[in-house]
Amino acid sequence: MARGFSLIEVAIAVFVITLLLGGILVPLATQVELRKISETHKALDEIRDALLGFALANGYLPCPDKTTAAGAGTQNDGQEDVSAGTCVAPEGNLPWVTLGAGISDVWGNRFRFRVYGTFAQRAPSTPFNISTLGNPNPLQVCTSGACTISLTNSSDGPPAVILSHGKNGFGAMNATTNATNPAAVSTDELENTDGDRIFVSHQQSAAGSGAGEFDDVVTWLSRSVLLNRMVAAGKLP
């Protein structure tokens, strides 16, 4: 004689299914985030290539797209902002329209872009040449806000730094609203939003960890790569 399942049996079955789904969905969510991080690294590599292409075509790097109303140009329009041959602001949005790049990272926020001014100068100012250095006060990418370990040359820094503010987006500008997201909390993420010449890059860390929350993805264009490409293309002697 057939009988139905008891409430206890149903409850056990639901519990087992929940455990199985949890075991599948958590790794799946992790895989999705890892894929997004990988896509961000790829996007930053493509931006670096676009910067090199721009320099080869023009003889200088682009300026940032400014994020405030101060100075010449229009803020947050994706165009580089230049006045009298120099950048209106050394740091701002990646000028995605000027470069023909994507408007945002995979989390919908703008890429931050910092350029060392002499590498973005153009007429009537003097464009960079084979002897141009990224100093004094070079840009630096370090493993912490204290910058005890520098990933770049501490005396002759990179011409440009590009970064995504990661999944949490703290300190980034939303690409849809042009509003600035909530400020970063950790020291290392704050270092990437304070507008100075120091940037931080290291492995991701969770909120509550010793290093504090950090999910920024940072890359830079080295001076040697830029000059080598320019020389190889016959743009510099």
Residue 73 lies in a domain: yes
Does residue 197 sit within a domain? yes
For the chain, how many structural domains are there in total? Answer: 1
For residue 151, tell me if it sits in a domain.
Answer: yes
- List the domain range (segments joined by +) for residue 176: 7-232
Q: 150-174, pLDDT tens digit by residue?
A: 999 989 999 999 999 999 999 999 9
Which position has the higher pLDDT, 2 or 169?
169
Q: 59-109, pLDDT tens digit by residue?
A: 999 999 999 999 999 999 999 999 999 999 999 999 999 999 999 999 999
What pLDDT does residue 132 have? Answer: 97
Using alpha carbons, select from 62, 38, 32, 49 the residue that is nearest to residue 164: 38
Would you state the structure tokens that stand for residue 32, as one six-digit string?
A: 């999705």
| Structural tokens at position 44 | 């930053």
Closest C-alpha among 141, 159, 160, 161 to residue 151: 141
How sure is the predictor about 209, in pLDDT bands with cuts at 50, 70 and 90?
confident
> Which tokens hold the place of 56?
């080869």
Examine residue 2 and state whether it is found in any structural domain, yes or no: no
Residue 51 vs residues 79, 203, 212: alpha-carbon distances, Å: 14, 25, 32
Q: Is residue 1 part of a domain?
A: no
Give yes or no for residue 130 having a pLDDT over 90: yes
Q: For residue 186, give both structure tokens.
A: 């950790």
Q: What is the pLDDT of residue 114?
A: 98
Question: Which pLDDT value is given to residue 20?
Answer: 64
Three-state secondary structure string covering the chain: CCCCCCHHHHHHHHHHHHHHHHHHHHHHHHHHHHHHHHHHHHHHHHHHHHHHHHHHHHCCCCCCECCCCCCCCCCCCCCCCEECCEECCCEEECCHHHHCCCCCCCCCECCEEEECHHHCCCCCCCCCCCCCCCCCCCCEEECCCCCCCECCCCCCCCCEEEEECCCCCCCCEECCCCCECCCCCCHHHHHCCCCCCEEECCCCECCCCCCCCECCEEEEECHHHHHHHHHHCCCCC
Within a domain: 237: no
Percent of the chain whose predicted confidence (pLDDT) is above 70? 93
Q: In three state form, how does the secondary structure of 146-211 look?
A: CCCCECCCCCCCCCEEEEECCCCCCCCEECCCCCECCCCCCHHHHHCCCCCCEEECCCCECCCCCC
What is the average pLDDT value for the chain, to the nearest integer? 92
pLDDT at 22 over 90: no
For strand 112-115 and strand 160-164, is the pairing parallel, antiparallel, or unpaired?
antiparallel
Please give the single-letter amino acid code of residue 204.
Q
Question: How confident is the model at residue 26, as a pLDDT?
Answer: 57
Work out the average pLDDT over 3-26: 68
**pTM (2 decimals)?**
0.87
Instruction: Find the range with the poorest average confidence among 29-38, 164-173, 214-223.
Output: 29-38
* pLDDT confidence band for 2 (50 / 70 / 90): low
- In a domain? residue 161: yes
Q: What is the C-alpha to C-alpha distance for residues 199 and 91, in angstroms, rounded to an integer?
A: 12
The pLDDT > 90 percentage for the chain reads 81
User: Taking residues 15-33, what's their average pLDDT?
Assistant: 69
**Confidence band, pLDDT 50/70/90 cuts, at residue 110:** very high
Range in 15-24, 107-116, 164-173, 199-208 the model is least confident about: 15-24
